[in-house]
Structure 1
Amino acid sequence: MANNNDNTPQKEELVSVKAEQDATASPSESSNKTQQKKASGNGLLWFVVFVLFVLILGMGGAGYWYYMQQQSASKSAAAAQESAISQINTIERERAEISTSLERVTETNEKLESMVAELKAQNEMLTLQSESTLEQIKNMEGRRPADWLIAEADYLVRMAGRKLWLEYDVRTAILLLVNADKRLKSLADPSVLPVRASLAEDIQTLQQLNQVSQSSVALALTGMIAQIDKLPLDTFEKPVDVNAQDNALSESTDDWQENLGKVWRSLVDDFLTVKSLEGPIEPVMTLEAQFLVKEQLRLQLMHAQTAALQGDAGLYNQSLQYAQTLLIEKFDIDASQVSGFVNALQNLLETDVSRPIPSELVSQKPLERLLDSRVKQVFGQGASAL
């Protein structure tokens, strides 16, 4: 650094010397020198321009190379980014599938845990039921086996209801109720007295019903239907002889002449009789008409039979009255068979076939409650089949 500072005054002196020499030189020389300086300055300028152009070309090439490198790098980066995105999407799908599988496995696990819990609860319940059953079996030794008679009484009451409402058999229903009361009576238990009172009420109600056997009435009508074909029909009505003479003899002696004429006419009439009859003559019934009349009578009796079995007193009486009208109008009422038939119909008309059957039995519900408290609580659901 010290040497450079020392040489600086010397250079300044040299420059000043050259300037003085140039000032003392001739004008031609100065012009030549000026042209030389211009030529050297132009060359230097062209050299600088060339160097700048080369530098610009180098910088452009370097820039283009750098641009191409950047484009290649960006393409590679884009391809790498797309590949990374594809891999990420693939990983996301796999993760979603794995998550779904995990959820399914979790749900299955939860279901299995729920099933296991239910099975445990059922196992505990069965254990409790078995323990309760064992306890009931132990306690059954102190129970009275006669409690089964309550179930028998309930069965008999149910059968009485079926006989009453399905078959209209009042007598059998009464017998079944009486047997049910006997079962409860054999228990010798005061707690069943209210049920026995209900049974007695049902028995009394049924006994107050009409005791006429509907089946007996139906059988009687069946026998009458079988006799219809044997009944004679009134097929001809003989007109009255208005010109008929009275041949009765008078008891007075003054009428001896009339009596003699009457005796003579009666003797003559035994050999030959000629009479003149006047009046409407009804024709004989055809076979079709006779068949229809008998079928009408048979149909009415069958209607009465059905009504008797159903306890329909209105239809029963109506059918018998129409049948009685047919007998009087179409059959020979003077015949003993027809008159007996009419009398039998009149007897059936006087028979009351109505039977107001009660809609329910009073003893059924109390007996069911007694059965629940005395039998079903001990033996569980096994007694529900009774």
Structure 2
Amino acid sequence: MLALVLVIVLAVAVLVFGWQAWQKLDTQQQRLAELEAQSASRDALAELESRLDAGESERDAALENAIGELQGEFASYRGEVDDTLDRVLAELASEQETDERDWLHAEAAYLLRLANQRLQLERDVQGAAALLRTADDRLREADNPALVPVRREIAAELAALDAVPRVDRTGLWLALNAQQELIARQPLGQDIEEQVARSSIEEAPSGGWQQQLSRFGQELKSLVTVRHHDAALEALITPEQESYLRQSVRLVLEQAQLALLKEEQELFEASLDKALTLINGYYETDASGVRSVVSRLEALKGEAIRPELPDISGSQQALAGFIERRFESRSASQGNGAQGDDA
């Protein structure tokens, strides 16, 4: 019995020991598998890094080659451009001799053309005069007696520009605005009045019919007033008509201001005439304010907002002729020199 118990205990111990040994073996196998997996991933990572390094090296090499080729092409192109420019400059130098005064002539011609455009298109008298003076300074720097006729034309054109009347458009616009504000406060010739008729009969009529009729006639005389006029009377205007009339006067004066800014003389005068017609026809002309507005508008109507401008193209034509003759003379002298060399 004891031996059987020992055998059983020994068997149990063997089983426990075997199970523990099996667990340890399984754990070691798992660790070995993990180590093998980690080793494989490290190898794959190393391989990927090597591939990336190889790709970057190839890319850098390709980029350096492309940059080198572009630099070479650019250097070649720049060399060709420099050669072409040198050849063109050499041809120009061989065809004509350089003269610093030609630049002054060309600049003066450009300034004179710009002055004509400024005067014709923008009607800028002051700007055109400033350009003429600058062109005259350039011709003075050229110091060529042959340019005296051109400078004489410039002097005459400057005198003509100085004689052009100066138009104070800002002052005229402000004057029209002041008259517009003043007339808005003036009374109309036909005042709007509300007439309320009140009867003086306060007690019931009494007495006979003759007495009642007589009393009714007296009351009727107190309610009705008869006035005699030589001329026909105009109907009283309504408040809506009064507002429309005042608005019309304001719009007409604003139209005159717009014509002033656009330098339209006919529209300016027509607008002032229309405003005067409305004021004289519907406003109280005996009022001092109305008389002041009428007087001022009549004075403004005589203002010239678009003065006549002179012709300043003579200097431009004279300088153009001078430059053309100078070029022809130089071409002729170069032709004679070439014939002499051939001989």
Residues 126, 170 of structure 1: alpha-carbon distance in 2 compared, 3 angstrom cutoff: closer
Q: CA deviation at 1:359?
A: 6.2
Of 302, 315, 336, the match for 2:254: 302
For residues 292 and 160 of structure 1, what CA distance do their matches in structure 2 show?
48
Q: Which amino acid aligns with 1:192?
A: L
Cα offsets for 1:310-340 (capped at 9, x unmatched): 5444333232222112111112223333222
Residues 361, 302 of structure 1: alpha-carbon distance in 2 compared, 3 angstrom cutoff: farther
Of 274, 278, 292, the match for 1:322: 274
Q: Which amino acid aligns with 1:133?
A: L
Residues 194, 215 of structure 1: alpha-carbon distance in 2 compared, 3 angstrom cutoff: farther
Residues 298, 371 of structure 1: alpha-carbon distance in 2 compared, 3 angstrom cutoff: farther
Cα offsets for 1:217-272 (capped at 9, x unmatched): 3443344345453343333289xxxxxxxxxxxxxxxxxxxxxxxxxxxxxxxxxx
1:286 paired to 2:238: yes
Unaligned runs of 5+ in 2: 1-83, 194-221, 331-343
Matches within 5 A, 1:156-167: 156-167=111-122
Q: Which amino acid aligns with 2:147?
A: V
Q: Which amino acid aligns with 1:181?
A: D
SS in 2 for 1:220: helix
**Match of 1:79?**
none
Q: Which amino acid aligns with 1:173?
A: A
Q: Given that residues 214 and 311 in structure 1 are in contact (C-alpha distance below 8 angstroms), is that contact kept between their aligned partners in structure 2?
A: no
For residues 277 and 163 of structure 1, what CA distance do their matches in structure 2 show?
70
TM-score, normalising length from structure 2?
Answer: 0.50
1:133 paired to 2:92: yes
Matches within 5 A, 1:260-271: none
1:192 paired to 2:147: yes
**Match of 1:220?**
175
SS in 2 for 1:363: helix
Q: CA deviation at 1:198?
A: 2.0
**Match of 2:109?**
154
Matches within 5 A, 1:1-386: 129-135=88-94, 140=98, 143-144=99-100, 147-214=102-169, 216-236=171-191, 276=225, 278-279=227-228, 284-358=236-310, 361-370=313-322
Q: Given that residues 147 and 374 in structure 1 are in contact (C-alpha distance below 8 angstroms), is that contact kept between their aligned partners in structure 2?
A: no
Cα offsets for 1:120-154 (capped at 9, x unmatched): xxxxx9886342235479x54xx33x654434433
**Match of 1:53?**
none
**Match of 2:43?**
none
Q: Given that residues 304 and 320 in structure 1 are in contact (C-alpha distance below 8 angstroms), is that contact kept between their aligned partners in structure 2?
A: yes
For residues 358 and 191 of structure 1, what CA distance do their matches in structure 2 show?
25
For residues 226 and 187 of structure 1, what CA distance do their matches in structure 2 show?
57
Residues 358, 368 of structure 1: alpha-carbon distance in 2 compared, 3 angstrom cutoff: same
Which shifted more, 190-199 or 160-169? 160-169
Q: Which amino acid aligns with 2:88?
A: Q
Q: Given that residues 182 and 289 in structure 2 are in contact (C-alpha distance below 8 angstroms), is that contact kept between their aligned partners in structure 1?
A: no
Larger Rg: 1
Q: CA deviation at 1:165?
A: 2.0
Q: Given that residues 237 and 282 in structure 1 are in contact (C-alpha distance below 8 angstroms), is that contact kept between their aligned partners in structure 2?
A: no
For residues 293 and 213 of structure 1, what CA distance do their matches in structure 2 show?
30
For residues 134 and 310 of structure 1, what CA distance do their matches in structure 2 show?
52
SS in 1 for 2:122: coil
For residues 275 and 211 of structure 1, what CA distance do their matches in structure 2 show?
62
For residues 304 and 362 of structure 1, what CA distance do their matches in structure 2 show?
36
Sequence identity, in percent?
A: 30
Q: CA deviation at 1:208?
A: 3.6
CA RMSD, 1 decimal: 4.0
Q: CA deviation at 1:284?
A: 4.7
For residues 147 and 130 of structure 2, what CA distance do their matches in structure 1 show?
20
Q: Which amino acid aligns with 1:131?
A: A
SS in 2 for 1:230: coil
Q: Given that residues 304 and 315 in structure 1 are in contact (C-alpha distance below 8 angstroms), is that contact kept between their aligned partners in structure 2?
A: yes
State the aligned residue count: 216
SS in 2 for 1:183: helix
Q: CA deviation at 1:351?
A: 2.0
Cα offsets for 1:324-364 (capped at 9, x unmatched): 12111112223333222112112112223342334662222
Q: Given that residues 236 and 283 in structure 1 are in contact (C-alpha distance below 8 angstroms), is that contact kept between their aligned partners in structure 2?
A: no
Q: Which amino acid aligns with 1:362?
A: G
Q: Given that residues 139 and 147 in structure 2 are in contact (C-alpha distance below 8 angstroms), is that contact kept between their aligned partners in structure 1?
A: yes
For residues 360 and 354 of structure 1, what CA distance do their matches in structure 2 show?
18
Q: Which amino acid aligns with 1:291?
A: S
TM-score, normalising length from structure 1?
Answer: 0.45
Residues 130, 209 of structure 1: alpha-carbon distance in 2 compared, 3 angstrom cutoff: closer
For residues 159 and 134 of structure 1, what CA distance do their matches in structure 2 show?
30
Which shifted more, 213-222 or 163-172? 213-222
Q: Given that residues 192 and 238 in structure 2 are in contact (C-alpha distance below 8 angstroms), is that contact kept between their aligned partners in structure 1?
A: no
Q: Given that residues 192 and 237 in structure 2 are in contact (C-alpha distance below 8 angstroms), is that contact kept between their aligned partners in structure 1?
A: no
